[in-house]
Amino acid sequence: MTPPASRPLVAVTFGPVTDLLRHALADVAELASASSRVPDPERAAVLGAADALLVWNASRELRPGEGPGLPARFVQLVSAGADHLPFGELPPGATVASNVGAYAEPMAEHALAMALALLKRLPQNHAKLAGGVWDQSLTRSLQGATCGVVGFGGIGKATGRRMRALGARVLAINTTGRTTEPVDFAGTLADLDAVLAESDVVVLSVPLTRATTGLVSTPQLRTMKPDAVLVNVARGAVVDEAALYAHLRDHPEFSAGLDTWWVEPFHQGEFRVGHPFFSLPNVLGSPHNSALVPGMVEEAVRRAAANVARFLRGEPVTGVVRPEDYAGT
């Protein structure tokens, strides 16, 4: 049963309507679940009356051919990235917003942890100790190091603050070349090679778009310092997989911390790598869980709901994405 038409209706496609959602949207909308667990007639009625959709993985939560017939004016993601969206399967003309910055703080911690672990050569030293080798070679510090942050949005800014707190210089790259954060340099992707060449640590936190797919490949890797640390908390496809593997294999002083991969369960339904990264001692991996700390999912849902509320009130919303930026990713 759909709510009265006097108030906007928000359809939640990823699960039930929770108290958190009711509290966040109580003064602006009615809510109803349109998840796969809702009987088809009820689900169809909710979707057919919804002014806004609150979704997590649209390609799984909306059935093929269903979205273009829906009247929703706004589609809000709980996830931060929009690269997985089937834009042609969404309601026509709807404003689409990603949940930008929702996971920034724990992801910045994760990027910092990976960078420190690789600067301190913790994976390599652990492997040597396990093999009976006592190697007290020098490690490195963030104090006085240069950190290039490619993608200086919510995650990038949170990462930059942590790097600066430990004494690193921060070189920031974003779409405008400007920031109010206290950085040592701010530029655009036109400055990528210069930032890569100067950085001891490079953190990738850009969205995956047409402009950033394959952003880091063999030429960029060769531009970086021989002992640089590359940390990717963005998307796997921002980096060329074969090029990265070859560079890590051939340059053992270079290292990479990878939280995101090229084939993952969320998008492709499985995890696999095309090259034997885990045979290399200079790779540190994690299963795309940099954002997953206690309470983070609830906070992300709360932020997404707040953006829906802004839209329904006619206020400016955050995270609006342009389909043309993602076509072909």
pTM of the model: 0.92
pLDDT given at position 2: 47
CA angle 143, 146, 147 (to 5 degrees): 105
168-225 pLDDT, tens digit per residue, is 999 999 999 999 999 999 999 999 999 999 999 999 999 999 999 999 999 999 999 9
- pLDDT of the residue at 145: 98
Side chain identity at 234, as an amino acid letter?
Answer: A
Give the per-residue pLDDT at 81. Answer: 86
The two domains 9-101+295-326 and 104-285 share their CATH topology (first three levels equal): yes
Q: Each residue of 38-50: pLDDT tens digit?
A: 999 999 999 999 9
Q: Residue 326's pLDDT is what?
A: 86
User: Do the beta carbons of residue 79 and residue 98 sit within 8 Å?
Assistant: yes
Torsion of CA 108, 18, 78, 262, to 10 degrees: 80
Q: Which residue has the tokens 């667990």?
A: 37
Domain locations in the chain as residue ranges? 9-101+295-326, 104-285
102 in Cβ contact with 300 (< 8 Å)? yes
Task: Give the containing element (helix H, strand E) for 185.
Answer: strand 185-187
Q: What residues contact 254, with CB distance under 8 A and at least 6 apart?
A: 221, 224, 226, 227, 228, 229, 230, 247, 248, 282
Q: In CATH, what is the architecture of 9-101+295-326?
A: 3-Layer(aba) Sandwich (3.40)
Joined together, the tokens standing for residue 262 give: 């090229």
Q: Where are the alpha helices (DSSP H) in the chain?
A: 19-25, 40-49, 58-61, 104-119, 122-130, 154-165, 192-198, 218-223, 241-250, 265-268, 296-313, 323-326
CATH number of 104-285: 3.40.50.720
192: left (phi over 0), alpha (psi -120 to 50) or beta: alpha
Residues in contact with 180: Cβ distance below 8 Å, sequence separation at least 6, in sequence order: none
> What distance in Å separates the CA atoms of residue 93 and residue 98, rounded to the nearest whole number?
16
Question: Which parts of the chain sit beneath pLDDT 70?
Answer: 1-5, 327-329
